[in-house]
Amino acid sequence: MFKTIEEHIRKQVAPAALRAEFRQHEFDSMRPFCMLVFCISLLIWLVFDLIVSFLGGQGFTWLSYLFIALLGCLTVVLRFTRRSHHFDVLNLLFISVITLGMRLVIDGIPEPLRPVWLVLGVSTVLYAVSVLPVRRWSFFCAMAITWVMLNPFYHTRIDADELEGAMLISYALFLSSLVIYSYLQMRQAKLHNYYLSKVLLEQAYVDALTDIPNRRSFMAKAERQLRLATPGQFLAMIDIDNFKRVNDRFGHDVGDEVLKRVAVHIKAAVAGHEFARLGGEEFAVLFDGLDQPGAEQRVGALCERVREDLGEPPVTISIGLARVEAGDSLSMALVRADQALYEAKHSGKDQVVMWSAKLAENS
């Protein structure tokens, strides 16, 4: 079954919104790694510059301090970067600075050694860029900047029509093709995995029929909400009146449409609070930040919305409402709301009943 779902997803074209969500998610998860790459790149460049400056006799000039300061500033900026599209630009600035610095340092070593170090520099930078969470345009811009800055034919007296030049061109084409292929394949695999995870999570936590959270999702979120112990918490249990009669008379397809209509009304009426379909024709809502009149007004308005719905067949709902006191467990709150719902169903339906200790005594 997993393979079937995976093959189906791989054939889908991810919409632009999902791609944007994936890029942001990938950057959020890889931001520490990006910081590590920036810091290591700065450290490697510093060590290389020091070696060439002192052993190579170039001297540690003001340009060395300038590049260290620029790379350090860009690394600090990354620490406060939160948007993936900002990182795309920041990464290009970092690559421009570090490749320019590498070029200036390499130009100071003996000419016969320059091509090797330039190609090594290109290989290192391109590999680092290929594993960073950057978009395609940013990746290809970074590749172009790297080859322009670290061009092994510039200031090296190597001709492209000679043996060494032909070998350099062949290696450059091979390296670029390999990096591009690896980058595109990894990006595609990561996108598909993200898409697959999202689909499976939605199937686990979203009710397939009504497209609202299911029981598993509600229990997890409600438990967390109750632990926060925010003031003014109320739990409402909602049941569609005479739903079995609707199924028996009109069929289950019509019954499914009724469930969808009620779910739409719940979603609209209690936006900002936790709600879910618990199963069958039963729904639940967890309110917070309300007083009792406010909670009763919200569920009363929901009853009215469903009652005035012009869809066929017309239906009504009954609601049991219970205050959640500090220290109450979710199971205790569900029992109380269910007791209030039972009273609403058996005392006329299409109404809201608030739980009281008397209901617990009568049940």
Report the chain's C-alpha Rg in angstroms.
Answer: 32
Residues 136-195: tens digit of each pLDDT: 999 999 999 999 999 888 877 777 667 777 888 888 899 999 999 999 999 888 888 888
Highest mean pLDDT among 90-99, 167-176, 336-345: 90-99
The phi, psi pair for 187, rounded to 5°, reads: -65, -45
Residues 217-237: tens digit of each pLDDT: 889 888 888 888 778 889 999
Rounded to an integer, the average pLDDT of 346-359 is 82
* Percent of the chain with pLDDT strictly greater than 70: 93
Rounded to an integer, the average pLDDT of 291-318 is 88
CATH superfamily for domain 215-362: Reverse transcriptase/Diguanylate cyclase domain (3.30.70.270)
C-alpha distances (whole Å) from 362 to each of 318, 329, 340, 342 are 19, 22, 11, 11
Give CA torsion, residues 200, 204, 205, 207, to 10 deg. 100
User: Is the confidence at residue 9, as pLDDT, over 60?
Assistant: no
pLDDT in the model for residue 11: 56
User: Is the confidence at residue 214, as pLDDT, over 80?
Assistant: yes
Which residues carry out catalysis?
A: 281
**CA-CA distance, 341 to 351, in Å (whole number)?**
9
User: Is the confidence at residue 90, as pLDDT, over 60?
Assistant: yes
User: Of the given ranges (11-20, 154-163, 197-206), which has the lowest mean pLDDT?
Assistant: 11-20
2 confidence band (pLDDT: 50, 70, 90): low
User: Is the confidence at residue 74, as pLDDT, over 90?
Assistant: yes
Residues 282-294: tens digit of each pLDDT: 999 999 888 888 8
Of 101, 50, 34, 104, which Cα lies nearest the Cα of 71? 101
Highest mean pLDDT among 57-66, 133-142, 270-279: 133-142
Q: If you count them, how many residues does the chain have?
A: 363
Average model confidence (pLDDT) for the chain? 86
Of 126, 117, 111, which Cα lies nearest the Cα of 183? 126
pLDDT in the model for residue 56: 65
User: Is the confidence at residue 6, as pLDDT, over 60?
Assistant: no
Domain residue ranges in the chain: 2-203, 215-362
User: Is the confidence at residue 87, as pLDDT, over 60?
Assistant: yes
pLDDT in the model for residue 99: 92
115 confidence band (pLDDT: 50, 70, 90): confident
Rounded to an integer, the average pLDDT of 271-276 is 88
**CA-CA distance, 142 to 106, in Å (whole number)?**
20
